[in-house]
Structure 1
Amino acid sequence: MKIVIATDAWKPQLNGVVTTLDTLGRILTKFGNEVMYITPQDFKSVPMPSYPEIRLSLFPNRKVAAMINEFKPDAIHIATEGPIGRAARRFCRRRKYPYTTSFHTRFAEYTNERWKFPIEWGYALLRDFHKHGEAMMVATPGLMEELRGRGFNNLRLWERGVDTEQFRVIESDVYDHLPKPIFTYVGRIAVEKTLEDFLDLDLPGTKVIVGAGPQEAELKKKYPKVVFDGKHYGDELAKRYSASDVFVFPSRTDTFGLVNVEALACGVPVAAYPVRGPLEIMEHAPKGAGCLDEDLKVACMTALEERDPAACRAHAMKFSWDAAAKQFISNLEIPGFDEDFWLRSAKMIEDPILPA
């Protein structure tokens, strides 16, 4: 199939949305599909106020329409609610072309945190954006239930996966020069991540922040003893996970928190609040894979004391990208599409053994 993925979040951003969409495209391509991304890299753009890492594409409507017309896709997936997402949505609605969307980011909470925009107003705008899609894909059953309670409809589950070949337990000396143990956070350095909850903790060893974002300069000045290690990708990021003793995730607003699963895949236990995302990731996790607690210090120290890299890795292996890609394809609902035929063609399910 030929699939368009329209997204306002793209490289060089380091976040779960970009990682998810990039990995999804690679998996779909591996199984014989052709994927075209429409991203800010295709347009003139300006930095988002107070968040320059995010680029807002300027006047994308005409070019988005031209790109889709030329590509002639079998399916269109709109991943974000920004200018590119809105341009793709406008194209689909004018042409009466079916499309799907996905819910990745709690923009209602984020805009309230940054600019005091009322949360209910934010959700009203989000409901309006998603309401005409064939389906809105959501990462967890708990989030689906919450959004249904907020008036969203046509919800479908699209669980997340982790690239367990990329993220693995490896020998790494990148933090050998730092006092141990190493407590690490990976992701955006922004107010909605409540990083100060982590950085204010009285913990032994060293706190490390991997990533970038609008709060970076402020936090560097406020916490001079914290190591800010910048942005890293691929093997370099896997080395940083593997060199850590505990992965700390202080956010209360993420829809999933893919970095938690990446850390687990590298053998590192998770310390986080018992909130949506971490709760669903750590459900049925074995002892040694981490700890969730409203006292984040208790979570950190318990995760450190019970740390079991093998248990972490085993739990991460439950998050399969093949299964996630299968769910995504199922949710597209292309007219005339034979899902069983596609899955067999892509070798994602076995053909039945027929009698001789």
Structure 2
Amino acid sequence: MRVLVVTDAWRPQVNGVVRTIEHLVEHAPAYGAQIDLLTPQRFRTVPMPTYPEIRLSLARTSVVSRMIAEARPDNVHISTEGPLGIAARRACLKAGIGFTTSYHTRFPEYLRRRAPVPERWTYAWLRRFHNAGDGMMVATRSLSDELSARGFQRLMFWGRGVDADRFRPRPGVDVLKLPRPIFLYVGRVATEKNIEGFLALDLPGSKVVVGDGPARRDLEAAFPDAHFTGSLEGEALAEAYSSCDVFVFPSRTDTFGIVILEALASGLPVAAFPVTGPVDILAGSGVGALDEDLRAAALAALDLPKDKARAFALHHGWADAARVFVENVASAMELRARRRSA
């Protein structure tokens, strides 16, 4: 099976979409699928308004159509709803090429934080975008239920994983050298992540923010006692995780939260709100504290066993996530064949 993954999110961006696709490329061949990529690296780009770290591709549908034809995929998977994803969708519909999609980001909620656009308008557009495909992959069961109630069709579960070899407890490693306990956030530093909700908490010890984004300067000014490291990757990121005591996930709008698994694999219990993503990963696990009072959750997480957090994360591998993706694509292709022969 040959799958062409079209994504507007790609290097040098550092986010969950990019990490997911990178691990898919690595592990899918073991399950009989070759993953080819169509990314912004093949196009001229311009900075996204209000978020210049994200580059938008100047992609014409005719050019994307030619690139898809040259790739000769068995299935096109549209990972994002940006300019490349829109052009790929148009190209597939025009040429009668089957495609699947992913729902990685809550654009209605994110857009509402930046502009006076009603969520129902954005959801209506997203429904048209995704329902035209042969399957829409989502990361959690609760998100699937929510989107189904909103009229999204042919939903498929596709979970996420963690590199437990890289993200692991490292006894004796303390790259931060801050007063303990150390409460950690990792991710994009943007308004929709509700980082201010974490930094405003009255907690003992230290608060650390790993990541970068358009809200960083304002947050640094508003919370001078917090420690901002900027973006970290690889071993530097893994060492930062292992140097902390609790991972705090303040977002209410993420669709999953790969960083939650990275923290758990590093031996950090997690504090979060009881919302989509944290609920799906942590509810009943004994390795996370979920509470509408995020301070109470953070303090409760201090008492949770670190070895149990690590053991829990070991059940979430990227290889299994890749297998599920391949199975979903095969199911979508089978459904498409039945519909065409009917």
TM-score range, shorter chain: over 0.9
Kindly indicate whether the alpha-carbon contact (under 8 Å) linking 2:4 and 2:76 is maintained by their aligned counterparts in 1: yes
Structure 1 residue aligned with 2:176:
175
Residue 234 of structure 1 pairs with residue 234 of structure 2: yes
Aligned-residue offset at 1:32: 5.8
Letter in 2 for 1:116: P
Aligned-residue offset at 1:301: 0.7
Gaps of 5+ in 2: 336-342
Output the CA distance in 2 between the equivalents of 1:151 and 1:26: 33
Aligned-residue offset at 1:263: 0.3
Output the CA distance in 2 between the equivalents of 1:12 and 1:263: 22
Kindly indicate whether the alpha-carbon contact (under 8 Å) linking 1:43 and 1:60 is maintained by their aligned counterparts in 2: no
Q: Secondary structure at the match of 2:295?
A: helix
Output the CA distance in 1 between the equivalents of 2:57 and 2:283: 39
Output the CA distance in 1 between the equivalents of 2:333 and 2:13: 34
Letter in 2 for 1:135: G
Superposed CA offset, 1:308-343 (max 9, x none): 221001111121222211211111136579xxxxxx
Of 311, 314, 336, the match for 1:314: 311
Letter in 1 for 2:282: M
Letter in 2 for 1:291: A
Structure 2 residue aligned with 1:197:
197
Aligned-residue offset at 1:293: 0.8
Structure 2 residue aligned with 1:72:
72
Letter in 2 for 1:299: A
Superposed CA offset, 1:68-118 (max 9, x none): 222211221000000000111111111111110010100001101110210
Output the CA distance in 2 between the equivalents of 1:97 and 1:67: 13
Q: Secondary structure at the match of 2:56?
A: strand
Structure 1 residue aligned with 2:186:
186
Superposed CA offset, 1:220-249 (max 9, x none): 111111111011112211111111100000
Output the CA distance in 1 between the equivalents of 2:292 and 2:283: 16
Q: CA RMSD in A?
A: 1.5
Which stretch shifts more, 315-324 or 151-160?
Answer: 315-324
How many residues are aligned here?
Answer: 333
Output the CA distance in 2 between the equivalents of 1:35 and 1:220: 40
Output the CA distance in 2 between the equivalents of 1:335 and 1:111: 33
Superposed CA offset, 1:107-143 (max 9, x none): 0011011102100001001001111100000111111
Output the CA distance in 2 between the equivalents of 1:336 and 1:222: 54
Letter in 1 for 2:66: A
Output the CA distance in 2 between the equivalents of 1:31 and 1:329: 7
Change in CA separation of 1:119 and 1:134 when aligned onto 2, cut-off 3 Å:
same
Structure 1 residue aligned with 2:328:
331
Structure 2 residue aligned with 1:271:
271
Structure 2 residue aligned with 1:81:
81
Output the CA distance in 1 between the equivalents of 2:132 and 2:166: 37
Which stretch shifts more, 26-35 or 122-131?
Answer: 26-35
Per the normalisation by structure 1, the TM-score is: 0.90
Output the CA distance in 2 between the equivalents of 1:300 and 1:283: 15
Q: How does 1:96-107 map to 2 (within 5 A)?
A: 96-107=96-107
Superposed CA offset, 1:193-221 (max 9, x none): 11111111111111110001110111111
Output the CA distance in 2 between the equivalents of 1:137 and 1:40: 22
Kindly indicate whether the alpha-carbon contact (under 8 Å) linking 2:134 and 2:333 is maintained by their aligned counterparts in 1: no
Gaps of 5+ in 1: 338-356
Aligned-residue offset at 1:40: 1.4
Output the CA distance in 2 between the equivalents of 1:151 and 1:17: 24
Kindly indicate whether the alpha-carbon contact (under 8 Å) linking 1:56 and 1:83 is maintained by their aligned counterparts in 2: yes
Letter in 2 for 1:326: R
Structure 2 residue aligned with 1:300:
298
Output the CA distance in 2 between the equivalents of 1:152 and 1:336: 20
Superposed CA offset, 1:253-277 (max 9, x none): 1111111111001101101111111
Q: How does 1:236-255 map to 2 (within 5 A)?
A: 236-255=236-255
Structure 1 residue aligned with 2:288:
290
Per the normalisation by structure 2, the TM-score is: 0.94
Letter in 2 for 1:294: E
Q: Secondary structure at the match of 2:53?
A: strand
Output the CA distance in 2 between the equivalents of 1:335 and 1:252: 34
Q: Secondary structure at the match of 1:214?
A: coil
Output the CA distance in 1 between the equivalents of 2:170 and 2:309: 14
Percent of aligned positions with the same letter in both sequences? 50
Aligned-residue offset at 1:64: 2.0
Structure 2 residue aligned with 1:162:
162
Aligned-residue offset at 1:67: 2.1
Structure 1 residue aligned with 2:338:
none
Output the CA distance in 2 between the equivalents of 1:70 and 1:245: 50
Aligned-residue offset at 1:23: 1.1
